[in-house]
Amino acid sequence: TSTDLIPSYANIVNTSQQAVLIENMTGGFVNAFGATISDDGGTGIDILNNASNVTIDNAQLMNSTATGIRIVNSTGVNTFRNSLQGSTLVSGAAQQSVLIDTLGATGQVTFADLQIDDRNGAGIDIDSNSGLIDFVQPVLIGTPAGGADAGVSIAGSQATSVIRFSEALTVNGSNGRGIEVTGSVLGSQINFLGPVTVADTTAESIAIDNEGGILQFNDGTAITGGADTGVSIQNSTGAIAFEGATSITGGGANSPSVDIQGSEANVLFESLSISNAANATPGEGAGVNLQNNIAGGTNTAIMTFTDLIIQGTDTGFLGLNNSEIRILGGEINTTGGPAIDLE
């Protein structure tokens, strides 16, 4: 059916179980060009064990009792468009708003504008990816309704994995982390090509752990209002870059704004500005804390800060037992501790 307000070719209205289920197809096409999907209280859209090419248009998914959109064990090309609506909307999902799990090497997932509201699980959860995932237009993740999962969680990316956020990504609030990237292997690529904004997180705003591939924030990163570390990089061996202007305002009273430990990774901050840094924890820096980053068999552990500004209290910049630190310019103003402590 169609209405005057939503002049679509077809309108799927659902309140129970899946609004769309595509499963066990070995090829072919499923196209919903110009259709609208309105799901309130069902279980959203499931694409499972699927090798066909799927196009979903104008999905509005509210109050799912499970996930909002779930793509699992797929090798086809999956496209989410918005020909009539402003964005694909997932609001109030009980579990992950968008879950992409074990996408095959030939698999692709593309989203146009995506909006996630009132989540209770992760906003976007990408696990064990081997294919291409591209958010080609802005992604907005709003304040959670509950749960402590990250706004964006990327785990276990494989050697053929390519994940791109091609335009702006905004995470407005999290009861846990804002963005987390864990367990990527050598050869994987994750790019945040547009500006990234993370606000008001309870745990780390950006947490990177055991990252072995290429991870790049290409167009600036703004972190505000977090209650914990702004950028945490732990136990990583890949190539990690924060290009453009990275700003971190505030944070926990007992946590560094940038914390990098136990990593062989080469890390670049092109322009890092930290304000209101504070960390009363003995033996740690308030603005930047670098500890035990030693070159090894995988990478050379070069920590580069092209331009660095730190304003706050306690120790501004601590470097303890690192292979190589490069600070090419900037200014550090702190009270209550040394501006720079290298040991």
pLDDT for res 4:
44
Single out the residue of 171, 175, 174 nearest to residue 217, CA to CA: 171
Give the pLDDT band (50/70/90) at residue 256: very high
Cα–Cα distance for residue pair 343/339, rounded to 1 Å: 13
Residue 132 has pLDDT above 70, yes or no: yes
Instruction: Please state the rounded mean pLDDT for residues 332-343.
Output: 94
Residue for token digits 């959109």? Answer: 69
Could you give the dihedral angle defined by the CA atoms of residues 19, 100, 58 and 60, in that order, rounded to the nearest 10 degrees? 60
pLDDT in tens, 88-131: 999 999 999 999 999 999 999 999 999 999 999 999 999 999 99
Q: Quick check: 32 pLDDT over 90?
A: no
| Cross-strand bridge partners of residue 153 | 125, 180
Can you give the length of the chain in residues?
343
Residue whose tokens read 């090894």:
296
Residue 14 CB-half CA count within 13 A: 24
Q: Cβ-count burial of 320 within 10 angstroms (0-12 exposed, 13-18 middle, 19+ buried)?
A: middle
Cβ–Cβ under 8 Å, residues 139 and 162: no
Using pLDDT thresholds of 50, 70 and 90, give the confidence band for residue 83. confident
pLDDT at 163 over 90: yes
Please check the confidence at residue 3 and state whether its pLDDT lies above 50: no
Pairing mode, strands 266-277 and 231-234: unpaired
Minimum mean pLDDT range among 136-140, 246-250, 287-291: 246-250
Q: What is the dihedral of CA 67, 216, 186, 158, to 10 degrees?
A: 20
Q: pTM of the entire structure?
A: 0.96
Q: CA triplet 41, 120, 14: central angle to 5 degrees? A: 15
Q: Where are the beta strands (DSSP E) in 146-287?
A: 152-155, 162-165, 169-174, 179-182, 189-192, 196-201, 206-209, 214-217, 221-224, 231-234, 239-249, 258-261, 266-277
Find the range with the poorest average confidence among 33-42, 157-166, 228-237, 266-275: 33-42
Q: Mean of the per-residue pLDDT values for the chain?
A: 95
User: Cβ atoms within 10 A of the Cβ of 194, count?
Assistant: 21
User: When comparing pLDDT for 93 and 3, which is higher?
Assistant: 93
- For residue 9, the model assigns a pLDDT of 62
The sign one gets for the Cα dihedral 164, 190, 127, 233 is negative
What's residue 2's pLDDT? 39
pLDDT at 158: 98
